[in-house]
Structure 1
C-alpha cells in the first residue's frame, strides 16, 4: 500500500447534504482514525460507487431525494449482502429504526447523537467486517494450502506444518488494524514473526520494538507517549515517544506479561480510544501505528490469577499466534543446523565442516529449553571450537548431558522412556545415538565401544564410516 488506510476496505458516506458529508468525513478522520472514505451526494449513484470501489461499509442517510435511504438499503442488501450498512438519520423514529434493522441494517443512529457513541458504533461495525473478511480469507488459504507471499517468511527456516499454518494466518490478518498477540517460549522467534507481520501489512512507517519488562508506570508512559518540555524535573526539551517514532508503522511491545497493572490501564485506554496524551500535555494525539505484543508467559493464567487485566487480555487476543517450541518441530532441526553452521562459518571466515549423522539424532531427543536461539548459539560455539575435519559433537553432547542430568534427577521412575506427545525416534536414529554414547564412554576406543555395544569391532568401524560418509 502506498499509504496507511483504515480500514482496509472502503467506507462509503451517502447523504444529500454536502456540508454534512464534509463535516462528518472530518470527524471520522480526526477523531475516529477512519481515512479510507468515499462520498456520494446523489443516492442514485451509490450502487455504481459500490461496484467500482472496495466498499465494505456504507453509512446511509434515510431522507434523500430521488432514491430514499430505505430503498437503497434494500438494493445493497439484495445485491451486495456482504457489505454492512449503518443508518445515520435525522429521524428519531422507533418504527423506522426497527424496519431498517429488519431490512438488514447493522445499526441505526440519530445525527444528533453524541459523536463518541456514533464513532463507537462505526468501529464495532468495522471490526465485525474485518473478522468476517478474515474468516473467509482464512478458509480460502487453509483449503488451498497456499502462501501468497512466501518471500516474507524466507528468513524463518522451517518446513513444519504448524509454522506454515501460522504463516497463512498472518497473511490473513495482515491488513487488519487490530492488535496481534504473539506467544511462545523464549527463543521461538517472536520478533521474527513481528517483522513478518509488519512487512505483510505494507505500512510505510518503521517497526519499533520496545521491551517493557521492568519498566515502572512513569517510565512506561514516558517511553511510549513521550513528554512536553517541563513535564517533570529534567525534561529540558520535548521528546517524542515510541508511538510517534513508529508513525504509520508498527509498534511491538515485547514481554507484555511483565507490564504492571497501572501501565496495563494506560495501554488499554490507548487501544480502546486510539489516542494518548504526552506527559505534560492536555492535547490528545492519535496513534497511527499498529500495535503488536509478545510474551513467553501464559496470559490466560495470569488474568485468572489477577495479575493481568481481563479487559486488556481480551482486547489483545483479537488476533493471536502461538509459536511451537523447537522440540515440536523436530523435522526442522537438520535445516536449522545446516543454516546456523553456514551462518557461523561465514561469520568466522571458515568453511562449513561435514556434520556426523548421529548429531541430528542426538538433537532430536533434546528438549531445547532455549529453542531456536539455543541451537544457533550451540552451532556458533561448536564451530568456534572446531579443529578437526568432521564437526565435533562435544559442545552438543555437553548441552544434552546437562539437560539429561536435570531430567534424570527430577524424573519419576514410572515415567515412560519416550514422551507420549512426541514422535518416536527411528531405529536408525536410536542406533546412531547408542554408537555415539558408546564411543563417548570408551573415549574414542573402538574396541572398548564395540564390547559395550555387543558387536564386533569391524562392524562398529563399518557403522562409523557409514555415518560419516
Structure 2
C-alpha cells in the first residue's frame, strides 16, 4: 500500500544547497513515489526537527557550514538511534565513507552517482524501517492479545482462540506495505479476512478483488495492468487495470496458486520493483495499492515441485496467515448456526425458526469439506423449506448423507482402519455392538436421538439396545 503520504514516516533531506535539495526531492517523488519529505538547509535546525518526532530517515550532506555532516551523524546516532541516516556527499573519499559507516550511517552515496543507485539505497532503508516497525507492532499486539478494532471483524462469526489470534496478527500487520498471504481451504473465510485487513489498513481507496484462476498470461497482464489504445487488435480505447483501480487501496488476488509461471514473473516485478507497464506503453507506472493474495493450494509444495517461483513465494509470505478449516473449530458451530439462521430468515422473509436440540452436536460429527460456505448453504436450504416453528433436522441429515455419499472421481478411496487390529481374539458381536453404541453416545454428547442417527437406527431401537446392555452387565 502506498497511501497519499508515503512512507508513513517522514524523510528529512539536509543540504545547504537549495538546488540540490529540490532536485533530490523531485527525483525521490517521481521515480520512487516517496513524497513524505521534509527539507532543511541549515544543519543547526536538524536536531530540533528530530526532537519534534515523525522522522524515520535522514539523507545528510557532509560539507555544510555551522554543523558538519559527521557531527550531525554522531548526534543522531547518540540521541535518535532508531532513525536511519544515509550520507549523500560530494566527497568521493574511501576513508570518509568508512568513517561514516562506523559512526552508524546506513549507506553512503556520492552526489555524482546515478540516480537509480541513490533511489535504490533510499528504498532499501525505507523497507528496513518498515519491517522493524512491523516487528515491533506485531510483538506488542501479540503479547497483549487484545483487539483494538474488533469492529473490523464484525462479519466473521467466531469465538475460536486460533481465529482470535489471527485477528490480533492482522491488526498488527494491516498497515504494513508488504504483501499478505492468506492460505486455507475453500470456504474457510479467506476473503472476509482480506476485507478486514483492508478495513484495518485505513487506506482511502477501495478493495479491488481479482480471481486469477484460469487467466492466461495475456489476460492476466491486461486485467492487472490495463492497456493503451492500439496495444493489440481490438484495443480501441484506453483501459485502466485493476492495479490502478485499487490506487490508495488494496488489490486482492484470489487463487494465486493457479498463476502460470509467466504471470508469476509479472507479479514478482510488480512487488519487487513497485512498478508496472500497461500493455502498449513504455512508461512505467508505480503501484499505489497494498497487495493481498490468497490460495487454497499448498504453495510450499508447488514451489518444491517447480510449479511456483521460489523468489515470488518468499516475497508473498512476508506476512502470512493460515485460516483453520471449520472441522478444527467446531466450537463455532452453534454461533454460526444462529448467525446463518438469522441471515437466511431475513433474506427469505421468514420468521427465524428454532433449531432442533442436538443439531449442533449432529453437525459436529461431519467434517465439512466445504467449510463455513457449506454450512451456510445447508442452513439456507433448511430455512427455505421450513414450515413449522421448529426447524427440521431432516434437511441437514440428508445434506450430510449426500455429501458423504459423494466420492470425488480423482480421489482414491481412504482405506478403513480395523479397530480390532492387534487383538489376539476378535470380540463377539455383542461386544462389538456395545463398543459402537458407546462410541456413538460419546460423539453425540449423550443425545440418544443423535447417536441413533449415527448408528443408522431409531432412538427406540437404541434405547432397547442400552437396556439389554445394562441387563447383561447386571
Alpha carbons 1:7, 1:177 under 8 Å: kept: no
Deviation readout 1:341-364 (Å, 9 max, x if unpaired): 110011111122222231111222
Aligned to 2:449: 435
- 2:463 aligned to 450, 460, 463, which one? 450
Alpha carbons 1:435, 1:453 under 8 Å: kept: no
Aligned to 1:57: 57
Alpha carbons 1:181, 1:321 under 8 Å: kept: yes
Q: 1:291-370 to 2 correspondence within 5 Å?
A: 291-370=291-370
**Structure 1 390/38 Cα, relative in aligned 2: closer, same or farther at 3 Å?**
same
Q: How many correspondences in the alignment?
A: 448
Aligned to 1:73: 73
Looking at structure 1, the residues matched to 42 and 257 of structure 2 have their Cα atoms a distance apart, in angstroms, of: 51
Looking at structure 2, the residues matched to 378 and 126 of structure 1 have their Cα atoms a distance apart, in angstroms, of: 49
Deviation, structure 1 residue 400: 3.3
Alpha carbons 2:440, 2:454 under 8 Å: kept: no
Deviation, structure 1 residue 325: 1.1
Deviation, structure 1 residue 259: 0.6
Aligned to 1:119: 119
Looking at structure 1, the residues matched to 405 and 340 of structure 2 have their Cα atoms a distance apart, in angstroms, of: 26
Deviation, structure 1 residue 449: 4.2
Aligned to 2:372: 372
Looking at structure 2, the residues matched to 65 and 317 of structure 1 have their Cα atoms a distance apart, in angstroms, of: 47
Deviation, structure 1 residue 368: 1.2
Deviation, structure 1 residue 4: 2.5
Quick check: 1:413 aligned with 2:417?
yes
Q: Secondary structure at the residue paired with 1:66?
A: coil
Alpha carbons 1:362, 1:433 under 8 Å: kept: no
Quick check: 1:92 aligned with 2:92?
yes
Aligned to 1:421: none
Q: 1:275-294 to 2 correspondence within 5 Å?
A: 275-294=275-294
Deviation, structure 1 residue 428: 6.8
Aligned to 2:194: 194
**Structure 1 386/449 Cα, relative in aligned 2: closer, same or farther at 3 Å?**
farther
**Structure 1 351/429 Cα, relative in aligned 2: closer, same or farther at 3 Å?**
farther
TM-score (norm 1): 0.89
Deviation, structure 1 residue 441: 7.0
Deviation readout 1:376-428 (Å, 9 max, x if unpaired): 111111111223332222232234334555799624314799xxxxxxx9977
Looking at structure 1, the residues matched to 156 and 455 of structure 2 have their Cα atoms a distance apart, in angstroms, of: 37
Deviation readout 1:96-155 (Å, 9 max, x if unpaired): 222222111111122222222222222221111111111111111122211111111111
Alpha carbons 2:440, 2:455 under 8 Å: kept: no
Deviation readout 1:319-351 (Å, 9 max, x if unpaired): 111111111112211111110111001111112
TM-score (norm 2): 0.88
Q: Secondary structure at the residue paired with 1:198?
A: helix
Looking at structure 2, the residues matched to 403 and 120 of structure 1 have their Cα atoms a distance apart, in angstroms, of: 55
**Structure 1 441/320 Cα, relative in aligned 2: closer, same or farther at 3 Å?**
closer
Looking at structure 2, the residues matched to 87 and 214 of structure 1 have their Cα atoms a distance apart, in angstroms, of: 48
Looking at structure 2, the residues matched to 372 and 416 of structure 1 have their Cα atoms a distance apart, in angstroms, of: 35
Deviation, structure 1 residue 294: 1.0
Q: Which moved more, 1:17-26 or 1:401-410?
A: 401-410
Q: Which moved more, 1:385-394 or 1:94-103?
A: 385-394
Stretches of structure 1 that go unaligned for 5 or more consecutive residues are 418-424, 457-469
**Structure 1 411/98 Cα, relative in aligned 2: closer, same or farther at 3 Å?**
same
